């Protein structure tokens, strides 16, 4: 029960911001402990997102004031390379990762090992993909931009 509540709150916070009114003064905790420290995530896997696949993302402007930066990625080589390259920037802006294509706990562990210190949660990305009209990952979403 606690596990599903924790995951539900994390997903609700990110997905509701995509459609919500601007949020002001939200504290950011860039170095929060990983969810796996509190629960066994194996029950959440595998995670797949039928609306998303690895590929190129066309950058575009967004207007979602108050949205906390987050990124979508999978366990594929393209995502892991992108994560390693962008990890310092993602940490600097306090971005939270959503692993939207993860077969098992070993794959999730590989993703997290590519960017120690970042919070990365296994979650289906279909709702976010539909709301943001995207079909590829890895992608970084901020209040003002959608980029790769």
How does pLDDT run across 28-63, given as a tens digit for each residue? 555 555 554 555 677 789 999 999 999 999 999 999
Lowest mean pLDDT among 20-24, 44-48, 100-104: 20-24
Residue 3 is predicted with a pLDDT of: 42
Question: Does residue 4 register a pLDDT over 50?
Answer: no
Residue 42 is predicted with a pLDDT of: 75
Residue 4 Cα distances to 25, 35, 115, 116, angstroms: 27, 11, 25, 24
CATH of domain 2-21+31-147: 3.40.30
Q: How far apart are CA 63 and CA 57, in angstroms?
A: 18
- Write down the residue that tokens 């998303």 correspond to: 52
Residue 30 is predicted with a pLDDT of: 54
Residue 16 Cα distances to 65, 104, 112, 144, angstroms: 12, 27, 25, 16
């Amino acid at each position: 029960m606690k596990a599903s509540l924790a995951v539900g709150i994390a997903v609700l916070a990110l997905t509701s911001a995509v459609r919500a009114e601007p949020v002001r003064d939200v504290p950011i905790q860039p170095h929060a402990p990983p969810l796996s420290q509190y629960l066994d995530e194996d029950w959440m896997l595998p995670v797949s997102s039928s609306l998303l696949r690895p590929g190129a993302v066309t950058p575009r402007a967004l207007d979602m004031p108050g949205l906390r930066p987050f990124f979508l990625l999978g366990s594929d080589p393209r995502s892991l390379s992108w994560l390693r390259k962008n990890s310092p920037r993602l940490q600097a802006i306090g971005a939270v990762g959503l692993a939207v294509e993860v077969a098992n706990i070993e794959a999730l562990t590989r993703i997290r090992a590519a960017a120690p210190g970042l919070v990365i949660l296994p979650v289906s990305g279909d709702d976010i993909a539909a709301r943001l009209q995207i079909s590829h990952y890895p992608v970084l979403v901020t209040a003002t931009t959608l980029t790769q």
